[in-house]
Amino acid sequence: MSASRYRVRWVMLAYLFGFAFVVYMQRTSFSVAAVQMMPELGISQVQLGWLMTAYLLTYTVFQLPGGVFGQWVGARRGLVIITLAALVATLATPLAPLLCAGAVLTGVLLLSRLVVGTAHAPLFPISMGVIESWFPSGQWGWPNGLQTAGLHLGSAAATPLIAILMVSYGWKAALAWTSLPVLLLVAAWGWYGRNRPSEHGSVSAAELAELDGNDRPPATTINRRDLLRVLANRDILLLFCSYTIMNYVFYLLGSWSFLYLVQERHLSVPDSGLLGSLPFIAAAIGSAAGGRLADVLAVRLGPRLGYRLVPLIVLPLSGLLLYAGVKVGSPLWAVAALSLAYGTIEMTEGIYSAATTAVAREHTMAAWGVVGTGGNLGGIIGTPIVAWLSASGHWNAAFLTGTVAAVVSGILWLWVDGSRVLAADPGRAS
């Protein structure tokens, strides 16, 4: 067995996996609890869509500032701060109806979603900076894919868990009880986590040597010139555009599959909770496998073709599977097709991350802030569209828009080149 499996970097990745798990458990719990929340609080499906959009708005707007924040305070403090803020705001949703009603309650729910989105936004920019510092050059796809698997498993766990708990105890208790364990993760990370390998007492000389000079934190400052270079980089902009369109499909499958199974396929809430977890499990498998494949292909074919090949194939394929999912008559076959669609499209998550890291290097946090902004714009664009179409009973049309988006996002990879590294700023001292 390879000694590298016991490197501290894999423990660090396990923590990042945990943070992704709890963040997406918080996100998905809200959409599952909405089945009971809407009739109890008098919220329409369109209003629910706007609450989801409020979250996406701040989650999107604060991607780039979140990356800059991570570079300023470091990953160790940054992840503690944002996770505690998200916990407080998440608990406000089940507590608010106990304290207020009417317009005040609506305002509190809206504010809660805005704050949760703001707190969650820096997670992946910060995480990618950690991976860039802790893993050898060219081996970023698999750890990013594994962390992405964490977010999907968090959603997979939340779907049946919240559904079962709210049937027995109500949605308020379900949201509150599933939020509190995050405190253990925050305490453990605050004790163990470090910003870079040389700061950690358990990192061996052999592990440092494997980094080949990569033992440095992400740039701790980013000036206007650095930011403009990131924003103007051709490949980062192409990744931004493709990721925007791909995430239209991501949010369609991740946020609306549960309600689709209840409303269009007429499954019970417990059955939808159990079957609704399958797309997330498939996405977790796909993201881990895709990240590993990205690293292998980048080594064998070079980062230009190695990162490009998989998205060109699997993104259009996921669109075809999405189309099949709404056309089949059986609910079980529909779940199977939607699960495969989610799994194939998420094979690209680690590749988007690895390509961004390969181009941006020390400014990975800020660069992923840019790409992640685009990804969440897909959710902002798609959420009200899907809410309107589904509220009108046009679920098939809602899912078919995802087919088109998947194909277009794949085509854009024809012009992405992961071998073009962002040039060093000539005005910065070496």
Show pLDDT as tens, one digit a residue, over the chain (430 residues). 344 446 899 999 999 999 999 988 888 888 788 888 888 888 777 778 788 888 888 988 898 899 889 888 889 999 999 999 999 999 998 888 888 877 788 888 899 999 999 999 999 999 988 998 898 887 888 898 899 888 878 877 887 888 888 888 888 888 888 888 899 999 999 999 998 888 888 888 888 888 865 545 455 556 678 778 888 899 999 999 999 999 999 888 877 776 777 677 767 666 666 676 788 888 889 988 998 998 899 888 888 998 999 999 999 999 999 888 878 878 788 888 888 999 999 999 889 989 998 898 778 888 888 898 888 888 878 878 888 887 777 888 888 898 999 999 999 999 999 888 876 554 544 3
State the Cα angle at 90 between 85 and 95, rounded to 5°: 120
CA 128 to CA 141: how far, in whole Å?
10
Q: Are 116 and 86 in contact (CB under 8 A)?
A: yes
Give the per-residue pLDDT at 271. Answer: 65
Cα distances (angstroms) measured from residue 400 to each of 53, 337, 354, 394, 396: 21, 13, 29, 10, 6
Q: Are 363 and 218 in contact (CB under 8 A)?
A: yes
Domain for residue 123, yes or no? yes
Domain for residue 249, yes or no? yes
Domain for residue 263, yes or no? yes
pTM of the model: 0.78
In three-state secondary structure terms, 116 is helix
Q: Which residues have CB under 8 Å from 360's CB, separation 6+?
A: 230, 233, 236, 366, 367, 368, 422
Domain span at residue 50 reads: 3-415
Give the per-residue pLDDT at 1. Answer: 36
Domain for residue 188, yes or no? yes
Give the per-residue pLDDT at 93. Answer: 87
DSSP 292-307: HHHHHHHHHH-HHHHH
**Domain of residue 123, CATH code:** 1.20.1250.20
Tokens of 8: 């501290």
Domain for residue 428, yes or no? no
Domain for residue 422, yes or no? no
Amino acid code (one letter) for 60: T
Domain for residue 373, yes or no? yes
Tokens of 429: 């001292």
Half-sphere exposure of 117 (CA within 13 A, CB side): 23
Closest alpha carbon to 301 in 312, 311, 292, 309: 309
Give the per-residue pLDDT at 2. Answer: 43
Give the per-residue pLDDT at 3. Answer: 44
Q: Are 260 and 389 in contact (CB under 8 A)?
A: no
Closest alpha carbon to 403 in 338, 344, 340, 319: 319
**Radius of gyration in angstroms for the set of CA atoms belonging to the chain, rounded to a whole number:** 21
DSSP 208-224: HHHTTT--SPSPS---H
Match 């230009």 to its residue by tokens: 304
Quick: pLDDT tens for 108-138: 889 999 999 999 999 999 998 899 889 888 7
Q: Which residues have CB under 8 Å from 187's CB, separation 6+?
A: none
**Total domains present in the chain:** 1
Q: How many CB atoms lie within 10 A of CB 2?
A: 6
Q: Which residues have CB under 8 Å from 53's CB, separation 6+?
A: 380, 383, 384
CA 157 to CA 37: how far, in whole Å?
19
Tokens of 358: 């390969």
Domain for residue 430, yes or no? no
Cα distances (angstroms) measured from residue 131 to each of 5, 16, 120, 121: 15, 9, 18, 17
Tokens of 400: 């078919």
